[in-house]
Structure 1
Amino acid sequence: MAQMPARRLLVTGGAGFIGSAVIRYLINETDHHVVNLDKLTYAGNLESLAAVDGSERYAFERVDICDQAEVDRVFREHHPDLVMHLAAESHVDRSISGPAEFIQTNITGSYVMLEAARQYWSGLEGPAKARFRFHHISTDEVYGDLEGTDDLFTEETPLRAEFSLFRLQGEFRSPGARLEPHLQVAGGDHQLLQQLRPLSVPREADPAGDPQRGGW
């Protein structure tokens, strides 16, 4: 199978767990150029991208997706062919204790990204305009729980976003195609240490702590 011609990808939230894995794959396994746009909140960790940081095909922009002027600048300077929008606030407990951040990032931030992409796309011509894509990567939790354990989500599955309302609101601002990863995280490096398994398993194996990860 012929490989897709090299493109310029803009990845938001690229310092997060999923975003960093996407970028490592793109740099290590393809010829694409990648711009990582990330605010670097508690969930962002540039150490997860240390293996690709020296690549001439990788660039990092510390930008808040809610900052319209900065997002517009990134589009103008890097001329992406494709946007992968992963940046979002997550974790149900945080959405309950601090909903304002979720509204700002997941709803307003998604609107800013869509508007910046629309304006940028409007200025493109010919093949560049035809091949431009915007993929909004979300979460299967916007569908709620399925009734049967063997059931599958489809495009026609009713939306029941009791625990992902802010992500769902952001999706409603994306009229085009969506890429929705369904992942089961079982272990490995680059995980967020606030979660139970990434924190408890290394502690059990090394009670003294790992200096490279900041100890416990």
Structure 2
Amino acid sequence: MKILVTGGAGFIGSAVVRLAVSRGHEVVNLDALTYAACLENVAPVADSPLYAFEQADIRDPEALTAIFTRHKPDAVMHLAAESHVDRSIDGPGAFIETNVMGTYNMLQAARSFWEGEGRPESFRFHHISTDEVYGTLGPTGQFTEETPYAPNSPYSASKAGSDHLVRAWHETYGLPVVLTNCSNNYGPYHFPEKLIPVVILNALAGKPLPIYGDGSNVRDWLYV
């Protein structure tokens, strides 16, 4: 299978790339190489004949169309996104441009490819989202696939918007999609501004540990 992975030089995307190549899949890594991306994350597979890299921005629809035409993927795993809550508060515009408009561009490019001649019969568009779209659940709350969206930050609102676009492209155009909402991820190659690395590095350096709210917040953590 040939998989087009967006954001494949980022934390989660690079883990997907490394695993997919190790299991014998062809992978096309599409990444704009913004501040949180690093090609060293995929160094273990960079020389594999199964691996290809395309530096492109999902905000550039012409570049996306060219990549679909050139590589003809069997599946897309869309991970490229602005993902830091604090940054979204300081600059929400970048989150709308990348997470909403970028996903729209990806859906349009995927739809055009899927509707064209010679499309793979098993083509899928897998959109990776976040459980933050469900908002605050309270001390005993839980969410399911039917839980209403209630985003609380510009980041989670932008991801909720992108989720709705993915669903709409399936319902309107029949595009085969999969949408997943995972909890907080951690593990190797984690970008140092995220909570787990910050806590570890601050503790090692004898610096204060960041506390959000009154410290009673609870999050699920998913190993990448």
Provide the TM-score with structure 2 as the length reference. Answer: 0.81
Counterpart of 2:113, as a letter, is: Y
Cα distance in 2 for residues equivalent to 1:166 and 1:146: 19
Q: Does 1:180 align with 2:181?
A: yes
Give the equivalent residue in structure 2 for 1:167. Answer: 159
In terms of fraction of residues, the more strand-rich structure is 2
Q: Secondary structure at the match of 1:73?
A: helix
Cα distance in 2 for residues equivalent to 1:204 and 1:155: 37
Pairwise CA RMSD of aligned residues? 1.9
Matches within 5 A, 1:83-162: 83-125=76-118, 128-149=119-140, 151-162=141-152
For residue 197 of structure 1, report the CA deviation from its aligned partner: 3.4
2:26 corresponds, among 22, 33, 45, to 33
Residues 182-205 of structure 1 show CA distances to partners (whole Å, capped at 9, x for unaligned) of 3452xx431111234324534655
Q: Does 1:8 align with 2:2?
A: yes
Residues 77-131 of structure 1 show CA distances to partners (whole Å, capped at 9, x for unaligned) of 1010100001111111211111111111011100000000000001134xx4431
Give the equivalent residue in structure 2 for 1:201. Answer: 200
Q: Secondary structure at the match of 2:77?
A: strand
Gaps of 5+ in 1: 1-6, 208-216
Q: Secondary structure at the match of 1:197?
A: helix
Counterpart of 2:44, as a letter, is: A
Q: Secondary structure at the match of 2:102?
A: helix
Counterpart of 2:123, as a letter, is: F
Residues 28-86 of structure 1 show CA distances to partners (whole Å, capped at 9, x for unaligned) of 1x121000001111110111111010110011111000101111110011010100001
Cα distance in 1 for residues equivalent to 2:95 and 2:64: 19
Counterpart of 2:183, as a letter, is: H
Q: Secondary structure at the match of 1:50?
A: helix
Q: Secondary structure at the match of 1:55?
A: coil
Q: Does 1:19 align with 2:13?
A: yes
For residue 180 of structure 1, report the CA deviation from its aligned partner: 2.5
Counterpart of 1:140, as a letter, is: D
Q: Does 1:49 align with 2:42?
A: yes
For residue 177 of structure 1, report the CA deviation from its aligned partner: 2.6
Gaps of 5+ in 2: 168-176, 207-224
Provide the TM-score with structure 1 as the length reference. Answer: 0.83
For residue 27 of structure 1, report the CA deviation from its aligned partner: 1.0
Alignment: residue pair count: 195
Contact 2:128–2:181 (CA<8 Å) still a contact in 1? yes
